[in-house]
Amino acid sequence: MKRTPLIIIGAAVLLAFVPKLGLPAFYDSLLYMMLHWVVLATSWNILSGYTGYFSFGHGAFFGAGLYTTSTLLARYEWPFLWTLPVAALVAATLGVALGAVVFRVKGVRGELFALLTLAITFVIGTIVVNTPIDGGNGVPLSGVPVPKIGPTQSSTFYLLALAAATVTMLVAWAIFVSKFGAGLFAIHDDEDAAEVMGVPTYRYKLMALAISCALAGAAGGIHALFLSYVTAGEVFTITVPLTVVLMSVLGGTRHWAGPAVGAVAITGLLYSFTAADHAIAGKAMIGVVLIAAILFMPDGILLRLQRVFRRTPPAAPGAAHPPSTLAERSTPTASTASTTGHGEVLLHVRGLQKSFKGVRALAGVDVDVRRGEILGLLGPNGSGKSTFINVVSGHYLPTGGEIVFEGRHLAGLPAHRIAAAGIARTYQIPRPFGHMSVLDNVALATMFGGAIHDVATARKQAMTWLDFTGLHEKANAHPDDLNLHQRKFLELARALASRPRLVLLDEVLCGLTPSEIDDAVALIRRIRDQGSTIVFVEHVMRAVMALTDRIVVFNHGELLAAGSASDVMQRPEVMTAYLGRPHLEPAHA
């Protein structure tokens, strides 16, 4: 893994000798353009490829850098190299300001983000043209001295772009293999689930946007001097973002090096046609290449090549674990009743309310969960059980009431903070991250719930959870290849991997066959035995009777009854809630 940065730096050092070859200036500018697009496409990919938030505003961020440098050069006569950090900073500030507003709005996902960033491009472009920044005539920079880095002026630009590209590639790689990167890819697949696993989605998106903008801004700064005459018409358009999208998708957005491959390919293609004076044919040719690439390599060149030359997949340290100690240590037959009632109160919920536009899903419920118990949460459909889990896990904001977990107030905190506090949940319909392997799905939860920072350790620990749930043979499979039973167990493994003190299980048994239910019941016992407290929403009465220490019953968003399962289910009000009011004979009490 650590070989990659050395390869990047090594390649950069080799490429730095190209000006010594004394090639005609044409090659310098061709190589400059290639590297320029490598920076733009790769920086775009850090936000848009990794998280799936396609930005059409890269022109604006690039342009912000371009105009920052040109203004500082033309108006204030700064030395050129000093303008570059400022250009990066201005672009990043612009991006963060935009992101801070846009990412706060819950409805802004995918296509809306694309539109907003496009709109920003035109707004900023209009401002630049109509104010003295540009003034409508462009900014001439021909009088500005070019720093002497390479033997000629064109080679200087080439070396500057090379440095920028090297930094960009290193950053893209470092994020790709880090915990940060794993979080970004989780946002791509299922943002809500990522948040519940403990990924600080808002902050991560903002950070990725800032990095992406800063790199684009620096590229803009270099390009300003390269152009030596800056005009807004070429910058604040849809052409820049479309080109980088094109390059990234062609190369592959799910790989750090994909955009660079695409950038080199497309720039090379463009140049080979313009150089031979066939600009029109070139345009058509790029169209054909693009169509062919999308039809036959929808995941990008790089992933396609990887699939062709697949060696051993980069996976599963210690994949051949024997069924681990955790699983053996478990005591599936231990009687559950013995521990009842001894634990202190772990989760303390008072007057919890949740309304959806006037529909009261929770009308003020009081629930205590004691450490070490399995609490069954029952009730007819629509009684508020799932809402309870959604509110406690932070997926919904409560309308009122308080949630106290180990003495900390959780009501109103974002979901990732609640996850970090030690509460995990599963979804009734499993929501795995579709593009990640089963192992990485679990490793993600390990990292974000368990404060583990490097991916390798996380994978190793994730493997023990796969052993625990019996999924170790599927570690490298993708969630799509699992059956429902295995997907439910994957949900469990993910929930456990964050080492929660409280696990909220939302109908894990629903849809399983009787023998699969037996497996799951044994597994849930083992989960409790290794130290987690469990809230268990379920309709399968057999499992409820076998597993729970206590149950609470909800009806119409209110607490109807609480106590031991065999006792509560006999109560008349509970039977009425489930079966309706008897007409002929009274319920036996």
Partner 1 sequence: MSGFTLPSISLLSQSILSGVFVGALYGLMGLGLSLSWGLLKLINLAHFAFAFLAAYLCYQMASKGVDPLLTLLVIVPAFFAVGAGLHWVMARFKVTPFNSLLLTFGLTGIVEAVIQTIWTADFRKLESSYGEQKFKVVGLFVPVPELITLLLAVGISLAVWAVLRYTDLGRAMRAAAEDAPIASAFGVNQKRNALLLAGTCASLASIAGVCLALSFTLAPSQMYAWIGVVFAAVMLGGLGRALGPLIAGTVIGVSEAITMAVTAPSWAPIVSFTLLIFILVLRPGRAT
CB closer to partner 1 out of 115 and 275: 115
The answer to whether the beta carbons of residues 471 and 493 sit under 8 Å apart is yes
Alpha-carbon distance of 511 to 64, in angstroms, equals 54
CB closer to partner 1 out of 261 and 521: 261
* C-alpha torsion sign, points 104, 106, 112, 113: positive
Stretch that binds partner 1, among 288-296, 314-322, 325-333, 346-354 (CB under 8 A): 288-296
Who contacts 588 (Cβ-Cβ below 8 Å, separation ≥6)? none
127 is a contact residue toward partner 1 (CB under 8 A): yes
- Nearest approach in angstroms of CB 331 to partner 1 is 43
CB closer to partner 1 out of 262 and 500: 262
- Nearest approach in angstroms of CB 251 to partner 1 is 12
Cross-strand bridge partners of residue 558? 555
Chosen residue from 10, 140, 287, 400 binding partner 1 by CB under 8 A: 287
303 is a contact residue toward partner 1 (CB under 8 A): no
Alpha-carbon distance of 50 to 201, in angstroms, equals 13
At 584, list the tokens: 């002929």
Chosen residue from 6, 280, 308, 589 binding partner 1 by CB under 8 A: 280
284 is a contact residue toward partner 1 (CB under 8 A): yes
Stretch that binds partner 1, among 97-105, 412-420, 506-514, 550-558 (CB under 8 A): 97-105
Beta-sheet pairing, 550-555 with 558-563: antiparallel
- Nearest approach in angstroms of CB 56 to partner 1 is 9
Residue with tokens 């009000």: 573
| # binding residues, partner 1 (CB under 8 A) | 45
122 is a contact residue toward partner 1 (CB under 8 A): yes
Residue with tokens 């303390």: 348
CB closer to partner 1 out of 8 and 391: 391
60 is a contact residue toward partner 1 (CB under 8 A): no
289 is a contact residue toward partner 1 (CB under 8 A): yes
129 is a contact residue toward partner 1 (CB under 8 A): yes
Chosen residue from 85, 298, 317, 351 binding partner 1 by CB under 8 A: 298
**Which H helix or E strand runs over 278?**
none
Closest CA to 247 of 34, 501, 549: 34
Encoded one letter per residue, x for contact with partner 1 by CB under 8 A and - for no contact, window 19-58 reads -----------------------------------x----
At 246, list the tokens: 């094109």
451 is a contact residue toward partner 1 (CB under 8 A): no
429 is a contact residue toward partner 1 (CB under 8 A): no
Alpha helices in 52-152 (DSSP H): 58-76, 80-102, 110-130
CB closer to partner 1 out of 174 and 269: 269
462 is a contact residue toward partner 1 (CB under 8 A): no
Beta-sheet pairing, 400-405 with 345-356: antiparallel
Closest CA to 112 of 172, 43, 55: 55
Chosen residue from 118, 230, 347, 436 binding partner 1 by CB under 8 A: 118
434 is a contact residue toward partner 1 (CB under 8 A): no
DSSP string, 458-492: HHHHHHHHHHHHT-GGGTTS-GGGS-HHHHHHHHH
**Phi, psi dihedral angles at 382 (to 5 degrees):** 80, 15
User: Could you say which DSSP state residue 145 is in?
Assistant: P
Subset of 160-189 contacting partner 1 (CB under 8 A): none
85 is a contact residue toward partner 1 (CB under 8 A): no
At 291, list the tokens: 């169509």
The answer to whether the beta carbons of residues 470 and 499 sit under 8 Å apart is no
3-state secondary structure of 271: helix
Stretch that binds partner 1, among 22-30, 213-221, 284-292, 366-374 (CB under 8 A): 284-292
3-state secondary structure of 403: strand
Chosen residue from 20, 75, 283, 342 binding partner 1 by CB under 8 A: 283
- Interface residues with partner 1 (CB under 8 A) are 54, 101-102, 105-108, 111-112, 115-116, 118-123, 125-127, 129-131, 136, 237-239, 242, 245-246, 249-250, 280-281, 283-284, 286-291, 294-295, 298
